[in-house]
Amino acid sequence: MILVTGGAGFIGSNLVAALIKQTRSPVHVCDVVDSDEKRRNLAKHGIAGIVAPEDILGWLKGEGAATKTVFHLGAISSTTERDPVALLDNNVTLSTDLWRWCAAQNARFIYASLAATYGDGEKGFDDDPDPLALTSLMPLNGYGQSKQLFDINAVLMTRMGCHPPQWAGLKFFNVYGPNEYHKGGQRSVAVQIYEQIRDTGQARLFRSHHADYEDGGQLRDFIWVGDCVEVMLWLYANPAVSGIFNCGTGKARSFADLAHACFAAMDQEPEIDFIDTPQSLREHYQYFTEARMERLRDAGYDRPFTTLEDGVAEYIGSFLATNDAYR
């Protein structure tokens, strides 16, 4: 039996779809399915059941006691969340409770960390699991801080001998792809640019306020959600691999590259309007993110990552520009 927390969300529902297709294990989802978008994220997939987050620990002691693998992707994921108690309860305490249950029951535990733990990137993007390296990072928001705290907890609990037989934390970078539509303003820039071009014929990008970057030249490590799923499936197939790993492509691309990929996929000539970055964002605005992928490669992951152009073409051609944008 497999449990996917956050399984009605963006990355979670893509993982659920793949697990149901590729494994014979019943897949249960723990999530709050409170919108039509999240219901549609799961509608095509024969899940075994849905568990409310507040009931999850009791469920694991009863009906879910046979769970052998937990993919923990559920969290308060808004980068604007300001309630530290809610962030700690959901992103640290619950994660720790699930970790301890997996350790006690000999179940595997694969969880979502994120690139926001690196803060402004001043210290680089090296997924060094040493506690001193982890504590030296300075996330820019409460969401990133809560994920950093659990990364530290995971490493320290492992050193104390309290850990699942396999555990892995994945620092997801800029993920894009189907089933992200419930996220509102937190959706990927890819889908937002697509909608801008569809509705106005133009793409709007932030103007650069940094002398080293041209307008639209701000860089991100954009990763297709299917690649994130492939990494998790590889970990599932390789139970001897544990640790904290970056999950990006290892190649930064510009927002202008992303916009041009969208125009190409829509068979339109590029027309980009640059607008000032809001003053409130400028102080903490990231101009560069790029995952170092050596640790995952050294662990044995050898599959290629989807290029930005191919991923955007797949997203638009197979999902956004069709009558059914859901996986």
Q: How far is CA 71 from the centre of its chain?
A: 12
Which amino acid type is present at position 124?
G
- What are the E-state strand segments in 87-240? 108-114, 167-172, 174-176, 203-206, 219-220, 222-224
CA–CA separation, 221 vs 283, rounded Å?
21
Q: For this structure, is 143 an active site residue?
A: yes
Burial class of residue 54 (count of CB atoms within 10 Å of its CB; 0-12, 13-18, 19+): exposed
DSSP H helices in 72-187? 84-88, 94-105, 131-136, 142-159
Of the residues 111, 118, 143, 315, only one is catalytic, namely 143
Q: For this structure, is 236 an active site residue?
A: no
Residue 139: C-alpha distances to residues 116, 143, 148 (Å): 6, 8, 8
Structure tokens at 128: 């060094």
Structure tokens at 203: 């793409």
Of the residues 183, 251, 285, 326, only one is catalytic, namely 183
CA–CA separation, 76 vs 91, rounded Å?
7
- Catalogue the active-site residues: 143, 183
